[in-house]
Amino acid sequence: MSRESIASALLILLPLALTALAALAAWGTRAITRLIKDRRVALALEVIANGAAAIVADLAQHVVADLKDPSKPGDWTHVAAATVRVRAVERVKQLYPQAVALAAEALANPERINDLLGTVVERAVVDLKAKAPSKAVEAIGPVIGREAVVPEVAAQLADEVVPRDGQRGSISLRALLAVALLSLVALAASCIPARRFVLDHTDGVPARVACTPRTQACVVTDAGVYLPVVYSDECRPWPTLSLRADGVQRTCAPGEGCAVDGDSGIASCTAADGGVR
């Protein structure tokens, strides 16, 4: 084959190769962006699930227990149960607005965020009654990996995640370098240590400690007072008491103790005389 023939063939194939490379780069960029966003959604769901468990434990101790107590006013009815559920959902939205906003963004219909949060709350109630460590569940699609998301939430997100339409892109050396960099970021994001690193450096997320997951305990704060907590699957101690109106974490009062009930496994503040507050 003459040099002229080779040059002609290259002139024909080069634009096709560049077009294919541009399409590959655009597809890679979209896939990596989707992977990172799905990872952020999974982390947000983990924060929501852990927070919901603490909120449910708090309501069970201070609201549900009183309604079920014959010596105290009020009755535990279907209406009361629905009211407490709504209260739990609203408290999750109040305490974790960024995580809730990220989860809502992942839904095809953001208005269904209350249904999603209600499902998380109901699962927290089941876990509280069972008092057993929750098992890791299947991932939300092939890109989420091994995140510990409750099955009901996984099923709902699988149905609700907004589909991405294809986009056209162009290719350049800078774009190729960006794709390579994003590939490294995506590889790091797929690792459990990377997920833990993100949580460890997120404001409001407790540090990991040695524990038995999905159990409650009493810890001592830096101020020297007791605080009932519930341990997540990663042994993060989430407070079971809600925040005060000024946003400060509520704790047991100075001089009060804290004990874990042997039957229910619920940690609660105790009065100075040893009685449950």
**For 183, which DSSP code?**
H
Q: Rounded mean pLDDT of 96-123? A: 82
CB-count burial class (<10 Å; 0-12, 13-18, 19+) for 38? buried
Closest CA to 268 of 220, 224, 216: 216
The DSSP secondary structure of 37-104, one letter per residue, reads HHHHHHHHHHHHHHHHHHHHHHHIIIIIHHHH-TTSS----HHHHHHHHHHHHHHHHHH-HHHHHHHH
Q: What's the pLDDT score for residue 14?
A: 64
Q: What's the pLDDT score for residue 182?
A: 52
pLDDT tens readout for residues 203-228 = 778 888 999 998 999 999 989 999 99
pLDDT over 50 at 271, yes or no? yes
Measure the CA–CA gap between 165 and 157, rounded to whole angstroms.
18
pTM above 0.85, yes or no: no
Of 70 and 5, the structure prediction assigns the larger pLDDT to: 70
pLDDT tens readout for residues 145-183 = 333 444 444 454 444 444 444 444 444 555 555 555 555
Q: 205 vs 1, 3, 148, 157, 196, CA distance in Å?
A: 68, 66, 16, 23, 11
Q: What angle do CA 60, 61, 63 make, to 5 degrees?
A: 65
Measure the CA–CA gap between 228 and 259, rounded to whole angstroms.
8
- pLDDT bracket for residue 191 (50, 70, 90): low
Q: Which residues pair with 260 in a beta bridge?
A: 267
Look over the chain and give the mean of its residue pLDDT values, rounded to a whole number. Answer: 72
**Helix or strand or coil: residue 161?**
strand
Q: Rounded mean pLDDT of 130-142? A: 43
**Helix or strand or coil: residue 134?**
coil
Q: Rounded mean pLDDT of 106-135? A: 74
pLDDT tens readout for residues 38-96 = 677 778 888 888 888 888 888 887 777 777 777 777 777 888 888 888 888 888 888 88
Q: What's the pLDDT score for residue 219?
A: 95
6: left (phi over 0), alpha (psi -120 to 50) or beta: alpha
Q: What's the pLDDT score for residue 73?
A: 78
For the four alpha carbons of 194, 232, 244 and 59, in that order, the dihedral sign comes to: positive
CB neighbour burial string for 80-99, b if at least 16 within 10 angstroms, e if fewer: eeeebbeebbebbbebbeeb
pLDDT over 80 at 264, yes or no? yes
